[in-house]
Structure formats: C-alpha cells, structure tokens
Amino acid sequence: MKESGEAVMVRKWFVALGIVSVVLIALIAFIVPKAEKNQQPTGYPNGEIQIPHLFYAGKVYIYTDQTTTKGLPDGYEKVGAVESIDNKHLPSKDFMASRLCLGQEVYAQSQSEADFLYVSAEKPDYYMIFKSDTR
C-alpha cells in the first residue's frame, strides 16, 4: 500500500524530531556534569586556596574546622600576628596566611614544637584551631 505524500512528510518530521531530541539529550548530559565540577562549595574562586592555612616556625598549619570559646590551653602564648595574605599559594614564610585577615593573633605553645596553633577570631575569647599539615 502506498502512503500519501502527507503521511511521508509527517513520518520525516517525527524522525527529524527524534534525532534532534537525541542530540539535545546528549548535549545536556555532556554540559551538566561540567557545570557541577566547576561549582565552588566554599564560595571562593577556583584556583585559589579554599581552606585557611598559616605558616609558622617552618611548618604549614591548616584550619581544622574547629573553634573554641573556652580560652587557650595551658602553655599557649601569643607568638605573633598574621602579617601577609596570599590566597593563591600556600604560605611559605612565618605569619603568612591564606583565608585569614591581617592582624589576627597567633598563639602557640611556648616551650615545645607546636602540633596545634590557635588563631584569634573576630569575637573575644574565640579561637580557630590549626593543625600541622603533614602533606
């Protein structure tokens, strides 16, 4: 049985619509994962340090994501303050930091090599805890 010209044309449109749909779905599947990879969960730009770091006494310390409002542990005293900021490179000299503010006070154990540092925050008696980064 021979189809009318109109039926052939409708079938061609459905085939073309199907091909376009497949191409669009493939493009969406390709583009969406790339957009998710470029998301910035910390809110800082890609290619920059995302977590606060601090250099002190020849070591890099990294923020533990912990704070304390109970004051400093025994034996900790002020050893300095943040003197420079570089959010694109890991700190490489004493009191250089990333993702901190100039002037934030740094506290370390006075008589031994510190595994932890405490850094003052914006509230009184509120300290951020940093641990020696052993990468």
**pLDDT single digits (tens) 79-128:** 999 999 999 999 999 999 999 999 999 999 976 677 899 999 988 789 99
**Mean pLDDT, the chain, as a whole number?**
85
pLDDT for the residue numbered 128: 96
E-strand ranges in 1-135 read 53-56, 59-68, 76-81, 84-85, 96-98, 105-109, 116-120, 127-132
CA–CA dist 21, 74 (Å, integer): 68
Identify the three-state secondary structure at position 27.
helix
Q: Which position has the higher pLDDT, 12 or 35?
A: 12
> Within its chain, how far is the Cα of 27 from the centroid?
29
pTM: 0.67
**DSSP assigned state of 9:** H
Q: How far apart are the first and last CA of the chain?
A: 76
